[in-house]
Amino acid sequence: MTRRFKAMRGTHDILPEEASRWRLIEEEFATICIRYGYQEIRTPIFESTEVFERGTGFSTDVVQKEMYTFEDKKGRRLSLRPEATPSVIRAYLEHNLDKRAKVLKVFYMGPMFRYDRPGAGRYRQFHQLGIEVIGTASPVADAEAIVLLWDFLRAIGLKRLKVRLNSLGCEKCRVEYSGIVKSFLEGNLKHLCQDCHERFARNPLRVLDCKQKKCKAVVAKAPEIGEVLCQPCRDHLEEVKRLIKLGGVESYLDARLVRGLDYYTRTVFEVFHEASGIDNSLGGGGRYDRLVEDLGGPSMPAVGFSAGMERIGQALEIDGVNLETNQSVDVFIAPMGGQAFEKAFELARDLRLNLRVWLEFDERKIDRQLRTASRLGVRFTVIIGSDEISRGIVKVKDMTTGEQYEVEQSGVAGWLKKRLGGTDLE
């Protein structure tokens, strides 16, 4: 027997029913982003590995352990994108988008790749939606990003959402905090996991987001960044808090929120769904005021977030939200016999200018075709046979009432459109 293949571990197929829900979610996201003045950007799935080493950060677990990195035929080192932000910044610099407007506001959606241990809701190919705002240090931009994500999640029907918020400080506060954390951890090294020993050597702050129980116990006693924030960083955080409260966002400060990437400065946030739990955030992000410079650009403050489609899907399931997808068919065309197929094919083409039309591919008995039509839930079935062709008519059966009409071939499109009352195909 020939071998049958399976999707690779950590990947999943999005089958038609689910895909139609995904499309609704993506459309909702695009609609909201556009209302907020964002434009879409699409970047390649892979980049030079260095984009992520310098962007996502060399010391992060993502870059150290989780990237799909390979050499192409010319020996170039490439990586599948583990996140979109470094790619967006690379594109921003490559195309001089900073010259077009003072601030660039973009959104994106698509697959990302991380070689992580697959688990509930964790995939090696996963899908994200996100935004980036490049060119402003204003706390209004941070607040807008949070409110936008909140509005989107609410719009698709999620309830019981909460935002946790923190500040990682500016360069100045961060250096100070890093020193404090370093000396604190030095005294607790023996209680940390093996990975954290490496993290400690590369960047002590990375220990703060270890998921291991014993490390969490140590981290719980670590000094908080709030203690060392400078006044401008404090003011920035206060302003973000004040603004999102105006936007109706429920938030609280969480001093333990550090996020797993190197580039964040000042604001970091996560939105989580109470029923899914705090460790399964639906999305998050923050400010990254140094990243543009780290990728070879000018000093340019920026902020953004990303949200996970798979996590959002799970949360919708938990909340029992049934997104109404309209995949129904309006009209079923049932040809009877060879010559009728040709007519049916032509008619289907005409009707498809405005209506959703199902046409069978193979010759089948009329009662079988009608059975398929009712399974598809169509409103009208158009029956064409040699008798109808010679009389220049078609028979139209109203599947809800069972009534049958004779309609002139030339007028059938108008007849159906009138009765289906402006089915919108948007």
Q: What is the dihedral of CA 62, 63, 68, 71, to 10 degrees?
A: 180
Select from 57, 86, 139, 169 the one that contacts Zn ion (CB under 5 A). 169
- The single residue among 93, 97, 103, 193 that binds Zn ion, judged by CB under 5 A, is 193
Residue 94 main-chain phi, psi, to 5 deg:
-60, -35
In 3D, which of 269, 279, 278 has the Cα closest to residue 247? Answer: 269
Which of 173, 208, 240, 336 touches Zn ion (CB under 5 A)? 173
Comparison of 196 and 282: residue with beta carbon closer to Zn ion: 196
Nearer of residues 210 and 271 to Zn ion, judged by Cβ: 210
Among 84, 185, 196, 237, binds Zn ion (CB under 5 A): 196
Q: Least distance in Å: CB of 63 to Zn ion?
A: 17
Q: x/- string (CB under 5 A) for Zn ion, residues 85-114?
A: ------------------------------
Confirm or reject binding of residue 340 to Zn ion (CB under 5 A). Answer: no
Torsion angle, alpha carbons of 241, 246, 249, 252, to 10:
30
Residue with smaller CB distance to Zn ion, 247 or 260: 260
In this chain, which stretch among 126-134, 230-238, 256-264, 336-344 interacts with Zn ion, using CB under 5 A?
A: 230-238
Number of separate helices (H) and strands (E) present in the chain: 15, 16
Nearer to Zn ion, 133 or 208 (CB): 208
Q: What is the DSSP letter of 184?
A: H
Q: Between residues 69 and 188, which has the closer beta carbon with respect to Zn ion?
A: 188
* Alpha helices by DSSP H, 36-138: 49-52, 61-65, 85-94
Task: Pick the binder of Zn ion from 175, 189, 201, 230 (CB under 5 A).
Answer: 230
> Listing from the earlier edge strand, what are the strands of the sheet with 380-384?
357-359, 331-335, 380-384, 393-398, 404-408
C-beta of 132: minimal distance to Zn ion in Å?
22
Cα→Cα distances 376→218, 373, 419, Å: 59, 5, 18
Smallest separation, CB 229 to Zn ion (Å): 6
- Dihedral of alpha carbons 272, 277, 278, 281, sign: negative
Q: How far is it, in rounded angstroms, from Cα 396 to Cα 406?
A: 6
Q: For residues 147 and 170, which CB has a smaller minimum distance to Zn ion in the complex?
A: 170
Q: What is the DSSP letter of 157?
A: T
Task: Extract the runs of DSSP E, i.e. beta strands, from 135-228.
Answer: 161-167
Q: Is 247 exposed, middle or buried (0-12, 13-18, 19+ CB in 10 A)?
A: middle
Instruction: Decide whether 82 or 169 has the Cβ nearer to Zn ion.
Output: 169
The window from 115-123, 146-154, 189-197, 302-310 that contacts Zn ion (CB under 5 A) reads 189-197
Beta bridge partners of 112: 126
Strands 265-273 and 104-113: unpaired
Instruction: Report the nearest approach of Zn ion to the CB of residue 169 (Å).
Output: 4
Helix 231-246 vs helix 139-155: crossing angle, to nearest 10? 30
Q: Is 302 in the site for Zn ion (CB under 5 A)?
A: no
Please list every residue from 201 through 220 that binds Zn ion, using CB under 5 A: 210, 212, 215
64 is a contact residue toward Zn ion (CB under 5 A): no
Q: Is 382 in the site for Zn ion (CB under 5 A)?
A: no
Among 156, 219, 233, 331, which residue interacts with Zn ion (rule: CB under 5 A)?
A: 233
* Residue closer to Zn ion (CB basis): 12 or 256: 256
Evaluated on CA atoms 138, 39, 323, 309, the torsion sign reads negative
- Is 301 one of the binding residues for Zn ion (CB under 5 A)? no
Residues lying near Zn ion in the complex (CB under 5 A): 169-170, 173, 193, 196, 210, 212, 215, 230, 233
